[in-house]
Amino acid sequence: MSQGSLIISDGSGAAVLAAINAALANLASMASGTTDPSTSSAGVLPYSFWADLSPLPTNPAILRQRNAANTSWIVVGVIGSDYLGLIPASKIGVASGVASLDTTGKVPLAQMYSAPTYGLFCKADPLTVCFTKTGAGAASIKAGTYVFVGSALVAFASATAISMPTLTAGTDYAIWVKDDGTLQATTSFTSTPGAGNWRKIGGFHYAPGDNASAQSGGNTTPQINAYSFWDLNFKPECPDPRGMTLVANSFWADIYLLGVDHLTNGTSKYNVTIADGSSPPKIPTLFGGSGTNAYGEFNWWEAGEVMRSWGKRLARYDEFAALAFGTTEAASIGTDQNTTQWNAAYVSRWGANQVSGVMSQWGADFGGGAAGAGWVNNAIGRGQTYQLPNAVLFGGYWGYGALAGSRCSIWYDSPTLSTYNIGARGVCDHLQLG
C-alpha cells in the first residue's frame, strides 16, 4: 500500500527518483491506506480513487472516489470480498439515524449490483417484494433492505414503517426513501416528497375494497391491495406499474378495465368511463393518434393496439381464468355499469375488479368457427383476411347471468366485432431481478 505524495518537489538524483516511485505507487494502489489522503501531504484531485483500508481486518476495505468538486468522497464499492459485511456508518456513508449494516444477512455483491440502472438496491430475499402490508392502510419495508440514495447507503436492519398520507380509495401511491432513512408514500410518481435526496423504490394500490377470500368476490372496505406492491427489482415488465396486481406470482394484470382516456390515466384507473364499442378509447400516439382523437369502434385489433402501446397485451385463456379466480361464479350484475366503479361481488383473489359478469373482455386467443373460404375486406383498410377464426371473449357481460364466471369464454364472435358490452383488460409478464 502507498500514499506517497503526488506532488514532486524540485530536486535531483535519488531523492527525485524516490519521490516519483512513491507517487507512481500511490496511483497504482489507488492511494491505499487507512488515512484520508485529502487530509495529508499526498494530495488528491477530482475523480481520484482511494482504497480505504481502515475497516480492516474485521471488515472489507472500501473503494472511494473523489467528487467533481474535490470536496468529499463517494463510495464506489467493496474491495476484496464477495460480501458487504459489518461496515460502520461512519465508514460507508450510511445516513445519520439509520441502522448500520449487520452480519446476520450479508448481501452478495452480485445482488447489490443487479439493478445498475437505478443504483444499488438489494433485499434480504430477492425473490419477494420488499414491502409488507401491516394494516388496511399501513405498510413496512422489510428488514435487510439496502438502498443507495444520493451518496448514502440507507440500511434497514429491521422492518420500518412507511409514513402514509391520508389515503384515497382507488389511488396508486409511490414509495420514496430519503437519505436519512425516511420512508414516505405519495400520489406523485415524479416529484419527491420534499427537499433533499430522495429515491422512488416502489409503490402500491389503495383499493376501494378488499380482495376475494373465496369464490364470492371481495368487499367494500378500502385498503391496500397486498398483491399490488412492487419494487425496483420486483414489478410488472411494462414501463408503468400503476393499477396492476400480481397474479399467482406469475404475471401482472390490470386491476380495472380499460378506460376511454388511457392516454392520461393509463390502462387501469378507478371510476372512469369504460372503453367499449359505444365509447371507444383514444388512439395511442404510437399508432397514429393525435392525443385527442378516438377510434371509430373498438374491435379486437384496437384493443390489442392500446395494450401494446403500454407494453401490455390481451390475456390468454389460462391467464384470464387465473386472474379472475375468486369472483362470484355463475352470476352477473344485471345492468351496464358504464364506469370502472368498484363492484365487490366481481373482484378476484388478486384484487382485479369487474372481472366477470360486468363486461365481456377481448382475449388474445383465436378459435371456434371460421369465416367462409375467400378474402374479406374487414380489417378497416389494413389488409384483408382469409377464413379468419373467431377471437375469444372472457368473463361474460352484465346480462349473462349463470353463464358468466372466471372460466366463461365465448368463441363465436369475429375479431371485427365492436359493441357496447365488450371491453378490455391488460396483462404483462413479471420482472424479477437479483
CATH number at residue 254: 3.90.1580.10
Stretch 398-414: mean pLDDT, rounded? 95
Same domain, 152 and 270: no
Domain stop point among 50, 81, 112: 81
Same domain, 154 and 256: no
Same domain, 86 and 76: no
Same domain, 408 and 265: yes
Mapping DSSP onto H, E and C, the string for 374-415 reads CEECCCCCCCCEECCEEEEEECCECCCHHHCCCCCEECCCCC
Domain stop point among 237, 270, 296: 237
Kindly report, residue by residue over 68-77, the tens digit of the pLDDT.
888 888 877 7
Stretch 339-344: mean pLDDT, rounded? 98
- Between 314 and 68, name the one with better pLDDT: 314
* pLDDT recorded at residue 46: 87
Same domain, 337 and 384: yes
Kindly report, residue by residue over 287-306, the tens digit of the pLDDT.
999 999 999 999 999 999 99
Same domain, 274 and 353: yes
Find out whether 169 and 222 touch, Cβ atoms under 8 Å.
yes
Give 166's contacts (C-beta < 8 A, 6+ positions apart).
none
* pLDDT recorded at residue 182: 97
Same domain, 316 and 419: yes
**Number of domains the chain is built from:** 3
Which CATH number belongs to the domain containing residue 188 in this structure?
A: 2.80.20.10
pLDDT band at 41 (very low <50, low <70, confident <90, very high): low
Q: In angstroms, rounded to a whole number, what is the distance separating the alpha carbons of residues 411 and 133?
A: 40
Beta-strand (E) ranges in 301-388? 313-314, 360-370, 375-376, 385-386
Query: Cβ–Cβ contacts within 10 Å for residue 285, how many?
Result: 11
**SS3 assignment, position 154:** strand
Domain stop point among 81, 97, 127: 81
Q: In angstroms, rounded to a whole number, what is the distance separating the alpha carbons of residues 106 and 90?
A: 19
- Between 139 and 114, name the one with better pLDDT: 139
Domain range enclosing 57: 1-81
Query: Cβ–Cβ contacts within 10 Å for residue 250, how many?
Result: 13
Same domain, 325 and 355: yes
Stretch 1-8: mean pLDDT, rounded? 67
Closest CA relative to residue 218, chosen from 323, 341, 328, 321: 328
DSSP class of residue 51? E
Q: Which residue has the cell 391467464?
A: 319
| Chain centroid, CA 337 distance in Å | 30
Same domain, 342 and 209: no
Closest CA relative to residue 178, chosen from 152, 153, 198: 198
Stretch 258-285: mean pLDDT, rounded? 98
pLDDT band at 109 (very low <50, low <70, confident <90, very high): very low
Q: Which amino acid is at 60?
A: P
Stretch 327-355: mean pLDDT, rounded? 98
Q: In angstroms, rounded to a whole number, what is the distance separating the alpha carbons of residues 303 and 282?
A: 11
Same domain, 141 and 204: yes
Residue 363's φ and ψ, nearest 5 degrees, are: -115, 170
Find out whether 342 and 297 touch, Cβ atoms under 8 Å.
no
Closest CA relative to residue 394, chosen from 351, 428, 427: 427
Is residue 90 over pLDDT 80? no
Stretch 242-260: mean pLDDT, rounded? 98
Give the chain's radius of gyration (CA, Å).
28
Question: Which of 381-388's residues contact partners 24+ apart within 8 Å by CB, and which partners?
Answer: 382/301, 388/414, 388/415, 388/416
Is residue 116 over pLDDT 60? no
Residue 333's φ and ψ, nearest 5 degrees, are: -80, -20
pLDDT band at 37 (very low <50, low <70, confident <90, very high): confident
Q: In angstroms, rounded to a whole number, what is the distance separating the alpha carbons of residues 107 and 373?
A: 62
**Beta pairing class for 426-432 and 251-254:** antiparallel
Q: Which three cell numbers stand for residue 382?
A: 389494413
Same domain, 117 and 251: no
Is residue 96 over pLDDT 50? no
Same domain, 64 and 88: no
